[in-house]
Structure 1
């Protein structure tokens, strides 16, 4: 089963269109809308609008934590509450057009043996907004990258790194 996390900020019309598209495909898949502290009160409006929908939850973030933390808040909630095969994390301006979106994703994931994938985002003018990864990343590759990134973060927290960096900056203007 698929679940959806939608990051919302201010534009209630766009978020409503996104949710309406998802509801066209399935009335039962869980949808979590994370309002990232919209100053116009649109999060509360969404909460009221979807209060009778048992599969839609609106989380109102008390502060705008940015893209990643806002999405993580919704992702953590949906993973705790539901037993899902897939979670789609998306901005409110993403419109899924294919009725068989879930089938396409499931087949792709199984065929390529991947755990995480991202879209090839194309503008209305046909421009690709992100480079298309032709060969999917494997779980092993992603685990190695996570380990490497953790090491980098640890290095950034050391005084020695910053001392070396300062010396480098002085000699390499």
Structure 2
């Protein structure tokens, strides 16, 4: 069954480096999403191991996916920026979801929920929980606000100015 994408409402960027198999598994889980109005850009970050060719075998005819290959390893941030700029220029998309290529969606309604998430216009980026299989938080910028945390910050703030 061929998917036809009329007007994407969400851009998605993922970086492939050396591991095309994880990227294929991520795309399979993405294709199970109830929300399908997206365009996915896979940036192969100069893998040099045939990953781009392998991904091309899977996705070169898929109108919902664009494959980009870099001529050198740009690093993670620049490779993401390449995908983001492609989506802005070619699809006029500014809602862009960046995901790791080893992500597997467990909830088939995840993108639908994401698209209905309300946020203020001055928000530049939103992060989600990153959990291990056992539920341990792995998000490097996760902040849990509670009384102990507020007291700790207040103590640190006051001590910093007293002892500087």
Specify if TM > 0.5: yes
TM-score (norm: length of structure 1): 0.69
| 2:11 alignment partner, SS class | strand
**Residue-pair matches, total:** 135
Q: Which residue of 2 is the match for residue 22 of structure 1? A: 30
Determine which structure has greater relative contact order: mean sequence separation of CA pairs < 8 Å that are 6+ residues apart, divided by chain length: 2
1:111/1:102 CA distance change after superposition, 3 Å: farther
- Structure 1, unpaired ranges of 5+: 136-173
Greater share of residues in helix: 1
Say if 2:10 and 2:37, in contact at 8 Å, map to a contact too.
no
- Structure 2, unpaired ranges of 5+: 1-8, 146-164
- Cα RMSD for the two superposed structures: 2.2
Q: Which residue of 1 is the match for residue 91 of structure 2? A: 82
TM-score (norm: length of structure 2): 0.72
In 1, Cα distance between equivalents of 2:89 and 2:133: 36
In 1, Cα distance between equivalents of 2:91 and 2:143: 30
Say if 1:4 and 1:87, in contact at 8 Å, map to a contact too.
yes
In 2, Cα distance between equivalents of 1:75 and 1:29: 13
